[in-house]
Amino acid sequence: MPSTFDYTWDTPVYKGSTSFSTGLYIGGKFVDGSNKTTIDVINPSTGKVITKIAEGTPKDVDIAVAAAQKAYETVWGLNCPGNERGRLLNKLADLMDIHRDEYAAVEALDNGKTFNWAKNADLGLCIDTIRYYAGWADKIHGSTIETSEDKLNYTRHEPIGVVGQIIPWNFPLMMVCWKIGPALATGNAIVLKPSEFTPLTALLTAKLIDEAGFPPGVVNIVNGYGSTVGQAIAEHMHIEKVAFTGSTLVGRKVMEAAAKSNLKKVTLELGGKSPSIVFDDADLSVAVEWAAHGIYFNHGQTCCAGSRIFVHEKIYDTFLHKFTEKSKSLKVGDPFALDSFQGPQVSEIQFNRIMGYIDSGKQEGATLHMGGHRIGTEGYFISPTIFTDVRPEMRIVREEIFGPVGVIIKFKDDDDIIHQANDTVYGLAAALFTTNVKRAIKTAHALHAGTVWVNCSNTLYANVPFGGYKQSGIGRELGEYALSNYTNVKAIQINIA
Ligand code: NDP
């Protein structure tokens, strides 16, 4: 029997407790991995072990896929009406809402994001997403198509079957919800792998999925490493579609495994190096607030982080001064403190990766304008960091750092800035700041990005699509667009002559 994770908090922001199984969730039961091995889950605020979770293996993926297939063919998929799927999703959303504070506490402990951000930003969007797709469940249908009077043609949007979902550690619960919401609304059965760094809120969700009354096998959660469990999902012959969020490097591997196995459908939500553009007519207080949110939200561990901040030369000095003041005011510390804005980075690996980028910026001749150092002696805290005097070829300008590290770059004119902003292999998002509506629209249309924010940044809604151009991904999540990732369209032609 897998063990249970029991934890009690007595902090300024949350007093309460949690209790859930740390096993794999397969066929409606919490079980040990087939090798009976475990993975340590680390608290990034201290570097110490919080608990151990069961480690899944490729064999466990096979067992989970079999459970998902059985559920799909008997009680789910086309055998479960949309209104029932919607009812179950709504029930899950209600339960998540009831457990909102507990979820936020688990996320803060496991991932390091602050309790307040987890509760208000992450949980809000998580619950909205599940409710949004609950609403879609009985509104998924094809259409009739006129050809000639002797033919009746119509389409059906059928579920794909068993789908695999591989998610990262930066928004652990949000990624669960973005993935399972559209997949369940459309009637698919799921095998999901959370990140080994942040598996806990997925396991709490498994408990609530059970409580909501989803039939056993509809959702299966297999903890484990990417190279074993993730790879087994990507190359499984009975998984018909895989959805992945994470690095571009691993996204390529997932696509390759899909191509080499059964040519399963692939959607990818990958990295970014998003520009924030501040024009000379911008409202500077708005630009400073949102550009700071753009890079520092979630400790910079955001795929759409506005990590390249372009500022018009006329306002560069004033912007830099105000942006520096804002950056200094952000309190880095205990995720359970009342006034913390930023907690630790997620892991020692990620901490070292970010510090490596900071070193490379210094070595390549950029000016470290602010920050660039560790905070405290335990855990993985890094101060908000700004580089100036950068050149386009520097690694800190080209590569995704995934930390609280921004580069600030001067620009001269509108054509020049479009060229610079688009000069990246990524195309996930962009933000621009101007009070001129024509300039806003022209620039938004010229940017190669899946999302463009005007006078805001890093805002997401369950009903607005999200995804990337270029190497930032394939397909869209959220909104109505995500549904098409999870259905096959069947055209039926009947001869009525
Ligand atoms: P990865 O892309 O390695 O991990 C994302 C998920 O993929 C995890 O669940 C991971 O498992 C899994 N995985 C790893 N290897 C494979 C594989 N061969 N086949 C299938 N699944 C696999 O991201 P990292 O966590 O290592 O972060 C590295 C960098 O990626 C970051 O610095 C950042 O730049 C970027 N990133 C981007 C994200 C985004 O939202 N676009 C999210 C996270 C990271 P495991 O549990 O073993 O890690």
Q: DSSP letters along 412-476, please?
A: -SHHHHHHHHH-SSEESEEEEE-S-HHHHHHHHHHS--SEEEES--S---TTS-B--EETTEES-
Residue with tokens 């055998």: 79
Nearest residue to 160 via CA among 446, 493, 484: 484
If you measure from the C-alpha of residue 58 to the centroid of ligand 1, how many angstroms do you get, rounded to a whole number?
A: 18
If you measure from the C-alpha of residue 497 to the centroid of ligand 1, how many angstroms do you get, rounded to a whole number?
A: 56
What's residue 1's pLDDT? 87
Residues contacting ligand 1 via CB (< 6 Å):
166-170, 193, 195-196, 225-227, 230-231, 234, 245-247, 250, 253-254, 269-271, 303, 353, 400, 402
Cα Rg of the chain (Å, integer)? 23
Q: Among 167, 170, 191, 195, which is best to mutate for testing ligand 1, by the most ligand atoms less than 8 A from CB?
A: 195
Residue 18, φ and ψ in degrees, nearest 5: -140, 160
The Cα 138–Cα 161 span in angstroms is 18
Q: Which residue puts its alpha carbon closest to atom 26 of ligand 1?
A: 247
Q: Which atom of ligand 1 is nearest to the CA of 472?
A: 41
By 3-state DSSP, what share of the chain in percent is helix, strand and coil, each rounded to 5?
Answer: 40, 25, 35
- Structure token pair of residue 76: 């789910």
If you measure from the C-alpha of residue 259 to the centroid of ligand 1, how many angstroms do you get, rounded to a whole number?
A: 19
If you measure from the C-alpha of residue 104 to the centroid of ligand 1, how many angstroms do you get, rounded to a whole number?
A: 22
Q: Which residue puts its alpha carbon closest to atom 22 of ligand 1?
A: 226
The Cα 427–Cα 449 span in angstroms is 4
**CATH classification of 4-270+473-491, choosing from 3.65.10.10, 3.40.190.10, 2.70.50.30, 3.40.605.10?**
3.40.605.10
Encode 266-291: b = buried (16+ Cβ within 10 Å), e = exposed. Answer: bbbbbbbbbbbbbbeebebeebbbbb
Q: Which atom of ligand 1 is nearest to the CA of 196?
A: 46
What's residue 496's pLDDT? 97
Q: Among 166, 297, 458, which is best to mutate for testing ligand 1, by the most ligand atoms less than 8 A from CB?
A: 166
- Structure token pair of residue 212: 């909501």
Active site residues: 269
- The residue extents of the domains of the chain are 4-270+473-491, 275-461
Q: How far apart are the first and last CA of the chain?
A: 63
3-state secondary structure of 298: helix
* Domain 275-461 of CATH type 3.40.640.10: no
What's residue 415's pLDDT? 82
- At position 409, the amino acid (one-letter code) is I
pLDDT under 70: residue ranges of the chain:
none
Q: Which residue puts its alpha carbon closest to atom 32 of ligand 1?
A: 402
| Under 8 Å between Cβ of 410 and 313 | yes
- Structure token pair of residue 485: 């990732």
* CA–CA distances in Å: residue 215 to residues 72, 121, 175: 10, 30, 22
Q: Which atom of ligand 1 is nearest to the CA of 231?
A: 19
What's residue 414's pLDDT? 83
Segment 5-61, tens digit of pLDDT:
999 999 999 999 999 999 999 999 999 999 999 999 999 999 999 999 999 999 999
Contacts of 72 (CB under 8 A, 6+ apart): 159, 161, 162, 188, 189, 217, 218
Q: Which residue puts its alpha carbon closest to atom 15 of ligand 1?
A: 226
| Under 8 Å between Cβ of 274 and 294 | yes
If you measure from the C-alpha of residue 304 to the centroid of ligand 1, how many angstroms do you get, rounded to a whole number?
A: 15
Contacts of 438 (CB under 8 A, 6+ apart): none
What's residue 326's pLDDT? 98
If you measure from the C-alpha of residue 403 to the centroid of ligand 1, how many angstroms do you get, rounded to a whole number?
A: 15
The Cα 108–Cα 368 span in angstroms is 30
